[in-house]
Amino acid sequence: EVVYGTAVPQQPCDVHFKSFNLENVLQWSPGKGNNNQTHYTVQHIIYGEEKDIWHDQKQCTNITRTWCDLSKETSDLDEDYYARVKAVLNDISSNWTESTRFNPKLHTKIGPPSLKVRAGERSIFIRLSGPKKWQFDNKTKAKSMAKYYKSLQYNVSLYNDKTKQLLYFQLKNNSETLDKLDHNTRYCVSARTKVHGQNSEPSAELCVTTPKDTSSEWLVF
């Protein structure tokens, strides 16, 4: 389309939120034919805001990149949001392209938990935490996602390196001691977060070895 001899940029496409542990980033693809001279402007609105006023994004006005971090603007978990993007070239704007309705709490991808493992006498102590919610700054202590998801639980796997046996179990709270294990055996533990029936990626695997059976060494013949 040409207006007074200057091309009108194609509107952006595939405007969507990509969210991980409630870090909500809007992403889009350039319209067909748009080059790196094209700039983009982003706005957002809260679902249900009656006056239909779209909010400008200072940090995402006239930008050349194709993403915009809207974590702060979309941090109220009781709200849903829409965002929209337009392309600007030589001061001529395209139409807006809108995202679908974004529900941060529902649509965010939840990461694996943090995992600590310690071996004891024929036992292993496991402590799980998080994952940590994204936060604006590092001044305040990062909160666990468990605070926001009542149904959050952990799926744990325990691998016995000697017998090659793999055991799965679920943890609702964040620590557990597994006992009656084998002496002098290497165990590897990994965990996933589960919310609303969705499992996260597995955490890094942590391996520990239970101590030898010292009682047998004292037997006197």
Q: Which positions lie near another protein, rule CB under 8 A? A: 45, 47-52, 78-80, 82, 100-101, 103, 105-106, 150-151, 196-197
User: What minimum distance in Å lies between the beta carbon of 62 and another protein?
Assistant: 25
**Which residue lies nearer to another protein by CB, 8 or 171?**
171
Q: What is the 3-state secondary structure (H, E, C) of 93-152?
A: ECCCEECCCECHHHHCECCCCEEEEEEECCEEEEEEECCECCCCCCCCCCCEHHHCCCCC
Q: What minimum distance in Å lies between the beta carbon of 8 and another protein?
A: 25
Closest CB to another protein among residues 73, 80: 80
Token duo for residue 11: 């509107």
CB-wise, 20 or 47, nearer to another protein?
47
Q: Report whether 187 contacts 181 (CB < 8 A).
A: yes
Residue 47 or 177 having the CB closest to another protein: 47
Instruction: Name, in order, each residue with C-beta under 8 angstroms of 149's C-beta and a sequence gap of 6 or more.
Output: 105, 110, 195, 196
Of residues 110 and 124, the one with the C-beta less far from another protein = 110
Other C-beta atoms closer than 10 Å to the C-beta of 192 total 20
* Smallest separation (angstroms) from another protein to the CB of 182: 36
Q: How far apart are CA 58 and CA 181, in angstroms?
A: 58
Q: How far is the CB of 81 from another protein (least distance, A)?
A: 9
CB 29 within 8 A of CB 12: yes
Least distance from another protein to the Cβ atom of residue 38, Å: 26
